[in-house]
Amino acid sequence: MDGYNNSQSDHFRKVLECRVAELRAALREPGELHESAQGETREVVDFKDLAGEQELASLQNVKAEHAAEELSMALAALRRLADGSYGQCLDCSVPIDLRRLEAMPATSYCIVCQSIHEHVRPAPARH
């Protein structure tokens, strides 16, 4: 297993900065589209069209939430690059496999700890 070392910081900084720019642009885009659609007025309301628009808006909201979460992760990864802790798992401190960092440069966890995070779910609320 090859891990990250500081000689690779420029490469990962460029990758992360590029992704941050893409995500910021994507987060600006839905609002602009929504504003232009609001200016339109219709005389006849087609409930199928309205349902389709609501579904599209819902999908855009989910995409925006995912983009915002990924943006937060990328910015945190850039902070870790700056402080020298990039490439180490936040939970167990072992080096994160370089192949994992190449695939997901904003990742905070090694594959084992990520698996644990994905499988730990809060207990459902009882009424």
Domain containing 22 — which CATH number? 1.20.120.910
Residue among 114, 71, 100, 70 at smallest CA distance from 4: 100
**105 token code pair:** 């440069």
Residue among 106, 104, 88 at smallest CA distance from 96: 88
Q: Is 13 exposed, middle or buried (0-12, 13-18, 19+ CB in 10 A)?
A: middle
Range of the structural domain that residue 65 is part of: 6-119
Q: In the chain, how many domains are there?
A: 1
pLDDT tens for each residue of 25-76: 988 875 544 444 444 555 556 777 767 777 777 777 888 899 999 999 999 9
| pTM check: above 0.85 | no
CA 31 to CA 42: how far, in whole Å?
Answer: 20
- Do 2 and 91 touch, CB atoms closer than 8 A? no
